[in-house]
Amino acid sequence: MNTSAHCHTLDNVTKEELVNVLHQLLLQLDAHGPHSYSEKMWVNLDNTPAITAGEQVMVKAGHLGYVK
């Protein structure tokens, strides 16, 4: 992937922010398992905090898909 090539202000994001948000996203996604397709799992799983954290870092990095 070359996502960082689309970020015009990547230097605004610290390594700590990137690692923290990556960890949050991985923990959230791992909570239901890599191959879980159970309807019950999705009902009780709230990915909003992980998605929000990821989007905030992408905005701070200036990624064109997230900057308005």
From CA 7, how far away is CA 64, in angstroms rounded?
A: 7
The structure's pTM equals 0.65
pLDDT over 90, % of the chain: 26
Whether the CB-CB separation of 4 and 10 falls below 8 Å is answered with yes
For 19, half-sphere exposure in the C-beta direction (CA atoms, 13 angstrom radius) is 3
From CA 30, how far away is CA 25, in angstroms rounded?
A: 8
From CA 49, how far away is CA 44, in angstroms rounded?
A: 14
pLDDT, tens digit, for every residue of 12-30?
999 999 988 988 887 777 6
